[in-house]
Amino acid sequence: MAMNMGVIGGGPAGLYLAIQVALRDPGARIRILERNRRGSTFGWGVVFSDGTLGRLREADRTTYDEITERFMHWDDIETHYRGRVIRSGGHGFCGIARQDLLDILTRRAEALGVAIEFEHELSDETELADAGVIVAADGINSTVRRRYAEHFQPDVDMRACKYIWLGTHRPFDAFTFYFVESANGWYQAHCYPFAAGWSTFIVETTEEVWRADGLEQASGEQTIAFCEKLFGAHLDGHRLVSNAEHLRGSAAWLNFPRVNCARWHLNNIVLLGDAAATAHFSVGSGTRMSMEDAVALRDALCGPAARDGGVAAALVAYERARRPAVESLQRAAQASLHPVTTVPPFSTIRRD
């Protein structure tokens, strides 16, 4: 029998799952409910490793080909500290504009017969009562996870560091990390290319330094001016820009929430992507993790677990198979989630 699946959230996780299921089960009825309008997104670039690209190629060559036509590729990681530079090669990454990725996935899903309803704010799951499986791919602030928090038991740890997601026309040819000091403490910039003439430029610091430098009260324009002055020696005359003009002052600065849930599924409802777990951006893209989650959920829903035991067995199999990899990535990210008030002497930083 063909699958009937409802997906809450039309981001990369929900779209890629829909594509994967439609490819495996051409008769499936798949409905995606997305609260935002078509073409609306926040953020700049998305990063994949070469290893992730290989898995995406195996999962859907058509989507992979479109992504690789638009991406920027690099191999190196470069760290700048007090006038010195460490550069290591052979890593293999690519960046693509988040909007380009969403456009590619949306077109592919619709071409495969997936129904996507934009500007559809879900009231509750009764709207999807006829679905055999309901996928909550509704992000870090998942309403489904909150509604059933007693069952999912989410552990949402809001980390202390403040960060702001900016862009620049300054080109980069590596994952680039700058460490600079203001009068009150350390800032780090996390930079990478994602399109011709565009790079992501994430600025991060401790809340204590952020407050001491007056950024809590700064306007968006003042914040950008501060960051441009602080990192001026590394911007080569280029400006910093924000695509969050609706956010003003301190609202443009974020704290990273580390999400982990004791359970990922309830009856026929399953959490996917950031709704279930997050990993800090310093160790890789949350989008990458979400799309790999989607492939794992496809394997469970379209594989022997579902054929032998139905949806309930498939969701158990999905969580059992995928959770170890997700938790491994979260452990790798743990060091980035602790505020650092000093930077070690350059001679102690590993060069391998």
**DSSP for residue 183:** S
Residue 145: pLDDT over 70: yes
Looking at the fold, whether 236 and 301 belong to one and the same domain comes out as no
Percent of the chain at pLDDT > 90 equals 82
Looking at the fold, whether 250 and 263 belong to one and the same domain comes out as no
Looking at the fold, whether 231 and 311 belong to one and the same domain comes out as no
Looking at the fold, whether 129 and 198 belong to one and the same domain comes out as no
> Whose CA is closest to 246, among 31, 40, 25, 5?
40
| Number of CB atoms found within 10 A of residue 302's CB | 18
More confident residue, 15 or 123: 15
Q: According to the model, what pLDDT value does residue 344 have?
A: 47
Q: According to the model, what pLDDT value does residue 141 have?
A: 93
Of 209, 234, 255, at which residue does a domain stop?
A: 255
Strand runs (DSSP E) across the chain, as ranges?
Answer: 4-8, 29-33, 45-49, 72-74, 76-81, 84-88, 93-97, 115-117, 133-136, 154-168, 174-181, 186-195, 198-205, 240-241, 254-261, 265-266, 269-271
CATH number of the domain that 177 lies in? 3.30.9.20
Of 225, 255, 285, at which residue does a domain stop?
A: 255
Count of the separate structural domains present in the chain: 2
Tokens coding 207: 């809340």
Instruction: State which residues form the domain around 190.
Output: 158-255
Residue 192: pLDDT over 90: yes
Q: Are 163 and 207 in contact (CB under 8 A)?
A: no
Looking at the fold, whether 310 and 198 belong to one and the same domain comes out as no
State the DSSP string of 124-148.
Answer: -GGGGTT-SEEEE---TT-HHHHHT
206-241, pLDDT tens digit by residue?
999 999 999 999 988 999 999 999 999 999 999 999
Looking at the fold, whether 320 and 242 belong to one and the same domain comes out as no
Of 223, 238, 255, at which residue does a domain stop?
A: 255
Looking at the fold, whether 192 and 145 belong to one and the same domain comes out as no
Give a yes or no: residue 92 inside a domain: no
Looking at the fold, whether 106 and 199 belong to one and the same domain comes out as no
Looking at the fold, whether 166 and 227 belong to one and the same domain comes out as yes
Q: According to the model, what pLDDT value does residue 91 have?
A: 93
Looking at the fold, whether 17 and 131 belong to one and the same domain comes out as yes
pTM above threshold 0.85:
yes
Handedness of CA 213, 214, 218, 222 (dihedral sign): negative
At 169, the pLDDT band (50, 70, 90 cuts) reads very high
Tokens coding 104: 């590619």
The pairing of beta strand 84-88 with beta strand 154-168: unpaired
**CA 159 – CA 127 distance, rounded (Å):** 35
CATH number of the domain that 143 lies in? 3.50.50.60
